[in-house]
Amino acid sequence: MKIYNDYSLAAHNTFGIDERCKRFIDIECEQDAIDVCSMIDPDERLLIVGQGSNLLLGGFFDGTVLHSAITGCHSVAIGNEVMLRCGSGECWDDVVAFAVDNGWFGMENMSLIPGDVGASAVQNIGAYGAEAKDVISQIEAVELATGKKVTINNHECDYGYRNSRFKGEWKNRFFITHVTYQLSVEYAPRLDYGNIRAELMRRNIDYPLPLQLRQVIIDIRNAKLPDPKVLGNAGSFFMNPVVERPVFEALQSRYPDMPYYEIDDDHVKIPAGWMIEQCGWKGRDLGNAGVYDKQALVLVNRGGATGKDVINLAHAVINDVKEKFGIEIHPEVNVVC
């Protein structure tokens, strides 16, 4: 365990916002997570971070930040399935690469999503028709109020679109130490979401091998999303809204070319990036923060932006989308003020 006071969080958020916290604790093993429980005042502010790829800091954090540095991956084969147990501090994409290289499938469509293993369980990360909930089996954690080790099964997490109980009623209740993923040795690629199939056709690939599919996903993401090391960002800033069918049909009558994704008989998902672009925000700046010119779903730090700069931009975008479409879009990013 490592403890720092008055610590800069610039290296722990991909927006590159140089805000500080009162205390920062690096947790390197499960025992550290248990020991830290006695060091936390129940009344102090608490923030649990990984790589900070889903975090926007709006100012000085007057409390304790807990960071997972728990690493390691171990696998157990059970018939046609593999249970892959990973430390919460492992880089998510490293785990995806490790799985694909070993012939374990289910994660490949989520290649290159930034963040760590712990965040995958909290956020229910997803891309191109796949979500973390599809492969998460169980989660090991320490209850911070008691220091008790717990094991939480997938169905207990109440997973939804970019959501879980860890973001709601369980927020700051548990420190996740390990996540176990249930993968398959049978390869069944999902190719019909987004522009995967179009990109495969462009490369004259009818049925991609696992490594080919992973590379296609990586290339598509790199073409649309900026590298945080070059241009600070947190990936997709907003969630795609899911609306009831009558709302969708009314909008479709006004915008026949509007893209959409069927959810079920009663609900349809509308791309927030498309709505933001229709409002004229794509490529525009507000102070030192801006909307990325290749993907309107992404807000970026043009250089020297504060968290408040990004928050002001987000509010302006939300207001314009609401005024034009009657739909309120919500941040996917965790905004901490």
The catalytic residue positions are 162, 236, 332
Q: What is the signed CA dihedral for 180, 23, 235, 168, rounded to 10 degrees?
A: 60
130-131 vs 136-143, strand pairing mode: unpaired
d(CA 311, CA 79): 49
d(CA 57, CA 9): 9
130-131 vs 126-127, strand pairing mode: antiparallel
61-68 vs 73-78, strand pairing mode: unpaired
d(CA 119, CA 130): 16
Longest dimension (CA), the chain: 59
Q: 266: Cβ–Cβ under 8 A, 6 or more apart, which residues?
A: 244, 245
